[in-house]
């Protein structure tokens, strides 16, 4: 048999494979997305929807029409780690996720998250600043004023400085 004689069989097999791919895509359960509610002040996250040890990024609008990104991830049960998603040293270079870590977009290395209450050094460094949150009834609440105040305290001076710190 030649190709011209077998094309209907190849076409039928291709259609069956395509239907199988589309069918499995439609019937696969969708991964739960974190429930986020941004009001003019606060961000509310559902703890049940957050993956353990996997940072999930969120964006918060600032009064000057800019947006600041932060992440939240579960660490050890229902404890959370909430921090800005970019370091002060390489802020403009951004960040990316690799496995379960937030990596610096310029240095290509994992960024250390400072603990609650820890203060970063006076120089710009590749450390992430924690954001305080409140936790109750299966939700974490990140206060908008905490995000704005910490951003203004630790990031705005670096951004307003001599441009790129490198």
Residue 166 lies inside a defined structural domain of this protein = no
The pairing of strands 127-128 and 112-113 is parallel
Average pLDDT rounded to a whole number, residues 23-45: 68
Same domain, 49 and 6: no
Same domain, 130 and 62: yes
Distance CA 11, CA 147 (A): 57
Average pLDDT rounded to a whole number, residues 5-26: 87
Which domain covers residue 9, as residue numbers?
1-30
Instruction: Give the model confidence (pLDDT) of 84-122 as tens digits.
Output: 888 877 777 777 777 777 788 788 778 888 887 777 776
What is residue 75's three-state secondary structure?
coil
Same domain, 21 and 95: no
Q: What is the pTM of this model?
A: 0.70
Q: What is the pLDDT of residue 14?
A: 93
Same domain, 102 and 24: no
Distance CA 147, CA 41 (A): 10
């Amino acid at each position: 048999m030649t190709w011209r004689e077998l094309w209907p069989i190849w076409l039928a097999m291709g259609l069956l494979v395509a239907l199988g791919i589309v069918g499995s895509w439609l019937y696969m359960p969708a991964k739960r997305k974190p429930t986020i509610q941004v009001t003019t002040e606060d961000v509310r996250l559902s703890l049940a929807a957050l993956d353990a040890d996997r940072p999930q990024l969120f964006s918060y609008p600032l009064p000057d029409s800019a947006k600041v990104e932060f992440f939240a991830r579960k660490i050890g049960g229902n404890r959370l780690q909430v921090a800005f998603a970019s370091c002060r040293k390489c802020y403009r270079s951004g960040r990316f996720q690799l496995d379960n870590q937030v990596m610096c977009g310029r240095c290509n290395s994992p960024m250390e998250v400072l603990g609650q209450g820890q203060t970063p050094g006076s120089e710009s460094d590749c450390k992430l600043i924690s954001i305080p949150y409140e936790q109750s009834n299966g939700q974490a609440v990140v206060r908008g004023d905490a995000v704005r105040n910490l951003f203004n305290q630790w990031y705005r001076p670096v951004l307003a400085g001599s441009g790129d710190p490198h």
